[in-house]
Structure 1
Amino acid sequence: MPSGPDPAASPREILLFMVQSPDPAFTAKEVGDAFDKTRQWGHQQLQKLQSSGYVDSKNPGGNSRFYWVTEDGQRYLSETRQS
C-alpha cells in the first residue's frame, strides 16, 4: 500500500466541511463518514489539522473526542479561498 498523503480530501476540504455544517464540533467518525473513509482516517486527518493549529479538540469523557475549527483554521480558509 503506498504511503504519503491520502488524495481523498485536502486539509482545506475537511475544514470547509466542518465550517459549512450546522454542527459546532465533530468526531473522527463523523469526518471519516463524510468522506466515505474510516474513523481511523478521520482521526489521522484531524490530528494533522490539530498539529497545524487549524482545529482544536476536547475529550468530554468516554471514548469520544470532539474537534472544531480554530481562528487559525478560519484564517487558513480565508487565505486559500479560490477565486
Structure 2
Amino acid sequence: MSSDRKRNDRGEYVETVTPEGVLEVMRRSPDPIVTAKEVGEALGRTSEAARQKLLKLQDEGIVARRKVGAGAVVWWIVDADREGPVDEFDPSDPLFTDPVTFSSGETDVSANTDAYLADAIAGESDDE
C-alpha cells in the first residue's frame, strides 16, 4: 500500500477506492459477506479507505452491515429485489406460521408437561 497519494491539477487527492471497485470486490468474493479489511486488501488500499466507501454505499442503501464481534463488522450487498428493510423477517414464512411439531410428531405436548418436568428433575437428582 502506497502512501504516495496522487493529486489532480487542483491539488485534490484523487479517489483511489471507488464505490464501483468496492462492489466489484464484493461480487467476486466467494463468500456472501466481506470485511473492510478484505476489501481494502483486494484493492491494495487500507481497510479504513474501504470502510469509508462501504459506509457511503450503506447510506445509499446498496450494502448493509452487522457487527458480529468485539470489533468485527461484516458487509453484504443488499438484495434489490427484496421488499422491506434488510433486517425485517417475513411473518408469512412457514417457520413462523406452521404449527410446532415435536420429534414425536405431536403438535401439543402440554398435557405431558408434568411428566417431562418429573423426568427432568429425576435426571438432575441422578447427576448428584
Fold shared per TM-score above 0.5:
yes
- For residues 18-74 of structure 1, what are the alpha-carbon distances to aligned partners after superposition, in whole Å with 9 as ceiling and x for unaligned? 1122111111111111111011101101101101111000001211100000123xx
Aligned to 1:32: 40
Aligned to 1:12: 20
Structure 1 residue 5: Cα displacement: 6.4
When residues 44 and 5 of structure 1 are mapped into structure 2, their CA distance, relative to the original with a 3 A threshold, is farther
**Which of the two has higher C-alpha Rg?**
2
Whether the 8 Å CA contact 2:40–2:47 is kept in 1: the answer is yes
Instruction: With a CA cutoff of 8 Å and minimum separation of 6, indicate the structure with the bigger relative contact order.
Output: 1
Structure 2 contact 21–43 (Cα < 8 Å) conserved: no
TM-score, normalised via structure 2 length = 0.49
Alignment partner of 1:60 out of 56, 68, 74: 68
Identity of aligned residues (%): 34
Q: 2:51 aligns with which of 43, 48, 62?
A: 43
Query: Greater helix share, 1 or 2?
Result: 1
Query: In 2, distance between residues paired with 1:50 and 1:12?
Result: 13
- Report how many aligned residue pairs link the two structures: 71
- The one-letter amino acid paired with 2:51 is H
Structure 1 residues 54 and 3 mapped into 2: Cα distance closer, same or farther (>3 Å)? Answer: farther
Give RMSD over aligned pairs.
1.9
Instruction: Please list every run of 5 or more consecutive structure 1 residues that lacks an aligned counterpart in the other structure.
Output: 73-83
* Distance across 1 between alignment mates of 2:22 and 2:14: 14
